[in-house]
A and B are shown apart, each in its own frame.
Chain A
Amino acid sequence: MMSHDEHPVPEVPSTPENQSVDRREFLKKCGLAAPILLGVIRVPVLGAQDAEDAYDAAEHLYGMGIDVSKCIGCGQCVAACKIENDVPEEPHFFNTWVERYVIGMDEEVEVDSPDGGMNGFPTAEGDIRRTFFVPKLCNHCAEAPCVQVCPVGATFTTEDGVVLVDEDYCIGCRYCIQACPYGARWLHPEKLVASKCTFCYHRVVEGLVPACVEVCPTAARVFGELQTRATPLARFLRFNDIQVLKPHMNTKPKVYYANLDGEVT
Chain B
Amino acid sequence: MQGFIYPNEFELQWSLLIVLYPYVTGLVAGAFILASLERVFNVKEVEPTYRLSLLTALAFLLVAPLPLLLHLGHPFRSYEIFLTPNSQSAMAMFGFVYAWYLMVVLLLEIWFDYRKDLVLWYRQERGWRRWVHYALTLGATDLSERSLKFDDRVGRWITLIGIPSAFLLHGYVGFIFGSIKANPWWSSVLMPVVFIFSAIVSGIALVLLIYMISSMIRWKPVDMRCADKLASFLFYAMVVDFSLEMLDFIHRLYESEESIEILTQLIQSRLFISLIVLQIVLGTLLPMIVLGLTAPALSKRSFVKMPDELKRLVYIGSAIMVQIGIFSIRWNVVIGGQLFSKSLRGLTVYKLELLGLEGLLTTGILLILPFVILWILIKVLPPWSEDEVSLPEARESAEAGSASPV
Which residues does A use to contact B, with CB under 8 Å? Answer: 91-94, 97, 99, 109-113, 115-116, 136, 145, 147-153, 169-175, 177-187, 191-193, 249, 265
Contacts and interface: CB of A to CB of B under 8 A. Distances in A.
A171 B77 contact: yes
A116 B4 CA distance: 12
Contacts of B89: 148-151, 153, 175
Most buried by B among A148, A184, A249: A148
Interface string B9-39: 1110110000000000000000000000000
A189 B40 CA distance: 50
B356 interface: no
Interface stretch (B176-184, B201-209, B359-367): B176-184
Interface string B62-82: 000000100111110110110
A171 B91 CA distance: 12
Nearest to B176: A175
Contacts of B68: 173
Q: What's the dominant secondary structure at chain A's contact region?
A: loop
A183 B92 contact: no
Give the 8 A-B CB pairs with smallest separation, nearest first: A172-B73, A183-B6, A192-B73, A181-B182, A92-B10, A111-B4, A151-B92, A151-B91
Contacts of A179: 180, 182
B20 to A, nearest CB: 15
Interface in B175-205: 176, 180-183
B90 interface: yes
Given A149-B90, A181-B342, A192-B73, 19 more contacts: A92-B7, A94-B8, A99-B4, A113-B6, A136-B6, A149-B91, A170-B74, A170-B77, A171-B77, A171-B81, A172-B77, A174-B13, A179-B182, A180-B182, A183-B5, A183-B6, A183-B8, A183-B342, A265-B344
A149 B13 CA distance: 15
A249 B94 CA distance: 25
B78 A183 contact: no
Contacts of A174: 13-14, 73
A115 B8 CA distance: 10
20 contacts: A91-B10, A93-B8, A97-B8, A99-B4, A109-B345, A111-B343, A145-B180, A151-B91, A153-B84, A170-B74, A170-B77, A173-B71, A174-B13, A175-B176, A178-B338, A181-B181, A182-B342, A183-B7, A183-B341, A187-B73
